[in-house]
Structure 1
Amino acid sequence: MINPSVHGWIEKYFAEQQPFPQTFASDEEAFYLQTRATGFIFGHIISFDSAKPIEQQEWLPVEISKIGMLNTLFQMYRLTKQHNDPGHFINEAVAFYNLLTPKGFNPLQKMLPSSSPASKLEKIIHERVQTNEDLFSKNFSHVITNALLFIDVLAFKQYLEKGSLPEKYFNRIEDIVISVISLSLKTKTDISAHDDLLLKLFESSVRYNKFSTANITNIEDLDLSYLKNDLEKFYVIDLAGISLWSDEQVENEERYFLYKLGEKLSVADTFVLESINFVNAFISKYKEEIPYFNSSNPVKTFYDQTTDNVVVLIKRNKNRLLKEISESKELMQLLAKSTHKDLDKEEKKKIKKQLLDICKTVPSLTIFLLPGGSLLLPILIKFIPKLMPSAFNENEE
């Protein structure tokens, strides 16, 4: 199974996916619809458009986004080049992202002078799936990952076809997306509870512009002439659709806005209607899982997300964790005692100290050593009995 947080995951992805199909999509609309069905367009990935199924159980949201990003970039490569060549794809992807850094400055060469292209791409993708928020703000928000990752895919298409990237391509596409989303939110007949969170999601995802909602007031004022490719047009319509969605319906005025937008983009009404229906079905089905549709207490959200992440890390490191714990006789005795009797203050301190020492030896668990990491220890302690043999719990005797 692929672990997207460990070095070498890209090479393992391609090893597991081979042999690749020798048939290639030639229809851009079909490619787009398949990509949209995965949820990648909306920043909530539910599946992967891959040759072989990819299990995503017990993955962190950022890890799902990394696999989704790699897979979609590769599918765009297959669509554009009409062949399968993981090595060539990786080199092209690294060269593409190198174009996004200032001339004369390549941080990848500085940080990874002898790294393989696959290692460089792993680093790049890890950076790209992040939002622009600082760690503290991100933890206390509903934003998990970058919502505008498909712009990278659109830009990659331009690079593969032309060998270069149009000047300020990202700026222009982002600017149009921001304008359309801002205007569509103003069009809504009722402002729902998730609208502020949705706005925050896009605001934290832009990289090349400042998110402003004050510029455009009428759809006639939108300048969409820069959008030449169908994929770009489909993307803009879908993003407008998701920003207009509320309460499992799109009102008449909002439908009019979407059809008018389609008309300005020279996109058929049939696609606009299909977009409305798809967005409605997708959100209705996955609403409870999509963070920006759930406006619960931010502190509770942070705790719940952190708990889930820590449990995943504990499960992954189960064997190593148990080995380290079993080698500490005093810790084993205290943990066994805690299953049937309250520990005193001094004993609790010893457990805390020894568990933190063990976490130092397991790289994936260094999250416990970060500032505030000790607050997560109750999660680890609570989960330990589930990992230990049944004989460990004397209450079951």
Structure 2
Amino acid sequence: MINPSVHGWIDKFFAEQSLSPHSFPQNESDFYTRTRATGFIFGHVVSIDASIAIATENRLPQELSKIGMLNTLYQMYRLTKQNNESANFINEAVAFYNTMIPKGFNPLKKVLESSSPSSKLEKIIHDRVQTNEDMFSKNFSHVITNALLFIDVLAFKQYLEKGSVPEKYSTIIEDIVISVVSLSLKSKTGISQHDDLLAKLFESSVRYNKFGRNAITSIENLDLSYLSNSLEKHYIIDLAGISLWSDEKVENEERYFLFKLGEFLKINDTEILNSINFINDFIVKYKSEIPYFNFSNPVKHFYDQTTDSVAILINRNKSRLLKEISESKELMQLLAKSTHKDLDKEEKKKMKKQLLDICKSIPSLTIFLLPGGGLLLPILIKFIPQMLPSSFNENIED
């Protein structure tokens, strides 16, 4: 069994797959259809389009994402070059990423020069799938962030065909995707604060762009002229569609957004309907297997999962946390006050700063210092009084 968490898994993958022939993707449409069926497009790998079946049971989402990414890159190589040479593919993939990843962030610098190409590719794929070690990546990032991995595949296509990737290609594609998803969320019939947070999370998951709120306010303001092939366009339609899906349906107003987007992308209505139907069938079929789809609102699920995780972290570090908090009389008073009265803006700022200072000194709590960790801080503040001894609560109320 291939174990992507152990060194040497790529060599094992190709050793096993070479034992049986696998049909080449017939064209871009066939490649995309097969890839979409695996769930890789949506950041949820439910199957692997490989010559020898690869079990998906009892694997971590990150492990499935690694296999899915390797295989999707390989299938793109097979489509473009029309050959199965795994060694050539690995060399091409390593060379591609070596030109793509910004200086200072290149994972190859962390790998010994004597490392084999497959070892380097393992490191690259690990870094691309696991963008960070914070709470988002463990509970939510694979929902959103890994849906952006297909941009790597699109850029790899450019590299294989032209020998290089057009300047800022990935940045522009990613920016278009974020703009479209942000607009699709705004077009939903029932917009909630959770949908707004989903947009923020999506925007903070970028790999090529700097973090920032997208300023596009209407579909007419989108510049889609950069998109040059069907893979890019269908990918954007599908991500817009899955971000609109909720309560087991896509409302008429939301369908209008997709048809309007299709008009701008020059995708006919039949293909838009195909996308809507596929997304609905995919979610219904795999709903029981993918926690993300068990809730009409994915961010609600994120908070449910994260709340439990934060409680565990506090329990594990309760003694040290109590010691650190008890050394700050002001923080104790603020925490006590927050349990029965709203703090003013200045008090919230003080409490946040002091808690973050404490988190810096406790390794397990440094997740609150990472990008996006600020969104988790209210959960930490909520649980601290509950998790500490009652005598402590009585003391801080005094």
Same fold per superposition (TM over 0.5): yes
Q: TM-score, normalised on structure 2?
A: 0.71
The corresponding residue for 1:377 is: none
**Aligned residue among 299, 302, 306 for 2:309:** 302
Amino acid in the other structure paired with 1:39: G
In the aligned structure 2, how far is the partner of 1:66 from the partner of 1:57?
A: 15
In the aligned structure 2, how far is the partner of 1:285 from the partner of 1:106?
A: 39
SS at match of 1:99: helix
In the aligned structure 1, how far is the partner of 2:128 from the partner of 2:230?
A: 24
Q: TM-score, normalised on structure 1?
A: 0.71
The answer to whether the Cα contact below 8 Å between 1:142 and 1:197 also exists between their aligned partners in 2 is no
Per-residue CA shift, 1:139-172, capped at 9, x if unaligned?
4x43335220100000000000001000001110
SS at match of 1:80: helix
Shift of 1:22: 6.3
The corresponding residue for 1:142 is: 140
Greater displacement, 246-255 / 16-25: 16-25
In the aligned structure 2, how far is the partner of 1:21 from the partner of 1:196?
A: 46
Per-residue CA shift, 1:22-60, capped at 9, x if unaligned?
642232111101100111000011001111110122211
Aligned-residue identity in percent:
66
The CA RMSD over aligned residues, in Å, is 2.6
The answer to whether the Cα contact below 8 Å between 1:11 and 1:118 also exists between their aligned partners in 2 is yes
Amino acid in the other structure paired with 2:66: K
The answer to whether the Cα contact below 8 Å between 2:77 and 2:89 also exists between their aligned partners in 1 is yes
Q: Does 1:177 align with 2:177?
A: yes
In the aligned structure 2, how far is the partner of 1:102 from the partner of 1:214?
A: 22
Q: Does 1:267 align with 2:274?
A: no
The corresponding residue for 1:92 is: 92
In the aligned structure 1, how far is the partner of 2:58 from the partner of 2:95?
A: 32
The corresponding residue for 2:49 is: 49
In the aligned structure 1, how far is the partner of 2:109 from the partner of 2:302?
A: 42
In the aligned structure 2, how far is the partner of 1:104 from the partner of 1:58?
A: 35
In the aligned structure 1, how far is the partner of 2:119 from the partner of 2:215?
A: 41
- Aligned counterparts, 1:241-320, within 5 A: 241-288=241-288, 289-291=290-292, 292=298, 294-295=301-302, 297-299=304-306, 301-302=308-309
SS at match of 1:297: helix
Per-residue CA shift, 1:322-344, capped at 9, x if unaligned?
xxxxxxxxxxxxxxxxxxxxxxx
In the aligned structure 1, how far is the partner of 2:263 from the partner of 2:160?
A: 29
Distance 1:98 1:235, change over 3 A: same
The corresponding residue for 2:30 is: 30
The answer to whether the Cα contact below 8 Å between 1:147 and 1:201 also exists between their aligned partners in 2 is no
- Aligned counterparts, 1:73-222, within 5 A: 73-102=73-102, 107-109=107-109, 111-132=111-132, 134-139=133-138, 141-144=139-142, 146-191=146-191, 195-196=195-196, 198-222=198-222
The answer to whether the Cα contact below 8 Å between 2:204 and 2:212 also exists between their aligned partners in 1 is no
The corresponding residue for 2:235 is: 235
The corresponding residue for 1:9 is: 9
SS at match of 1:147: helix
Shift of 1:107: 4.9
Q: How many residues align?
A: 307
